Amino acid sequence: MRLLASLYESADLPDAVVTPSGSLSRHDLLEQASRLAGRIAGAPIVAVEATPDLSTVVAVTGALLAGVPIVPIPPDAGDLERAHILRDSGAAALLSGGDLAELPVTRETLDAALVLYTSGTTGAPKGVVISPGAIAADLDALAGAWQWTADDTLVHGLPLYHVHGLVLGVLGPLRLGCRLIHTGRPTPQAYAAAPGTVYFGVPTVWSRIAADPAAARALAPARLLVSGSAPLPAPVFDGLAALTGRSPVERYGMTETLITVSARAGGERRPGQVGLPLPGVGTRLVDESGAPLPSDGVTIGHLQVQGPTLLDGYLSPDGVRPPELTGGWFPTGDVATIAPDGWHRIVGRASTDLIKTGGYRVGAGEVEDALLLHPAVREAAVVGIPHPDLGEQITAFVVADPVAPADLIDFVAARLAAHKRPRAVHLVDGLPRNAMGKVQKSLLIAH
């Protein structure tokens, strides 16, 4: 199919895909995937146990060759989550480690490439239906933005059931014809030992690499260090730049939109900002009533996007339910600022990262970055806790060496406007994170 054209058109590469479980040449991958495609052809949809190894790459490739939509299942999914995904998707089969188990068919044939389930923070996980055309448009736009070609070697250790690890990290190399090295786990040592030109990571990964100078320096020959899935703290950005000689490229996206905004390989990189819209993508800011807001680099608004990378809709018992758009614009649920030159800064989720306190609107990320400048602070997460007078109280959860909470409050107050300082600081042993390294702030708010 068109999405995987490079498998047919590119010359063979002996180790086109490398994982801890082994490696495959491009021809061997095509042969194994084609055999699998013949076994599942005609199925309405198949689920894939998305372990970080060759079996998942073969399964995904085979399903795409067969024109069968894929539902990746996290290998560490609990029984309830797993049962929900299988039941809700109506998968006719489950591919696991090369084995194929048939399931009761409960759905008509679906015209899609992927069904990715959201994290379910506001209810049961929803199946996001993504077309081959949306994936192709996104990967081609990123290839231009990152100067990503068949000559690259991509290295990452990200889960293979999200946009970052699966769409960019597996389908990207398959479409563009470049080599893929999956490290199994995204440890500093594994990244340092894998020779690549492009490395993908989430902020947690990059933070650990920046804290390991030897591992970070080993990445100096790389062409691009790409960070996404959550905001990269400015101190980590600066640390990577100092140790590797290369400022990381940040990008923004979500399951429903794929990647829509990114810094460019040949352009400027700014800490705390994710760059410019990709070709064909439009963005805008609106207020709570939907009225447009200015792109002045200061005004925080609700981010909306439009373009060819949007989802087809959400899976429902009756088929695919189209997303609710406003004049063709998709509401991301994130809040951001857009500078006059088009650069975007993602403040965070509207539900947890835009804090309304004492009549002010404060972005949690700005306060977190200020806290991370303190030499004792290793991690920080800031949320708004309901408050009878302020509306919301700026509250920080901090992983740090011994330090007095009052000292951290004063430290922030000396660097930001007084109304942006935390009113309370809780010292904790760790922050709750999901598989992609994002802090689960809803758990902190309920603390």
> Could you give the domains of the chain?
1-346 (3.40.50.12780), 354-445 (3.30.300.30)
pLDDT at 174 over 90: yes
430 burial level (CB within 10 Å; 0-12, 13-18, 19+): exposed
User: What is the spatial distance between Cα 299 and Cα 268, in angstroms, rounded to a whole number?
Assistant: 22
User: What is the spatial distance between Cα 154 and Cα 179, in angstroms, rounded to a whole number?
Assistant: 6
pLDDT at 105 over 80: no
Q: What's the whole-model pTM score?
A: 0.86
In this structure, what token pair is assigned to residue 42?
Answer: 């005609």
- The pLDDT, as a whole number, for residue 286 is 96
The answer to whether the beta carbons of residues 307 and 282 sit under 8 Å apart is yes
pLDDT above 90 coverage of the chain, percent: 72
Q: What is the pLDDT of residues 345-399, one digit of tens each?
A: 998 888 778 888 887 778 888 899 889 999 999 999 999 998 888 888 999 999 9
Q: What is the pLDDT of residues 49-96, one digit of tens each?
A: 999 999 999 999 999 999 999 999 999 887 888 898 999 999 999 999
pLDDT at 248 over 90: yes
pLDDT at 400 over 70: yes
Mean pLDDT confidence for 159-163: 93
Mean pLDDT confidence for 94-102: 89
- The pLDDT, as a whole number, for residue 46 is 96
Q: How many CB atoms within 10 Å of residue 67?
A: 17
Confidence of residue 117 (pLDDT cuts 50, 70, 90): very high
Mean pLDDT confidence for 10-32: 92
User: What is the spatial distance between Cα 14 and Cα 17, in angstroms, rounded to a whole number?
Assistant: 9
User: What is the spatial distance between Cα 154 and Cα 166, in angstroms, rounded to a whole number?
Assistant: 13
In this structure, what token pair is assigned to residue 355?
Answer: 């804090």
- The pLDDT, as a whole number, for residue 80 is 81
pLDDT at 433 over 70: yes
pLDDT at 220 over 70: yes
- The pLDDT, as a whole number, for residue 279 is 97
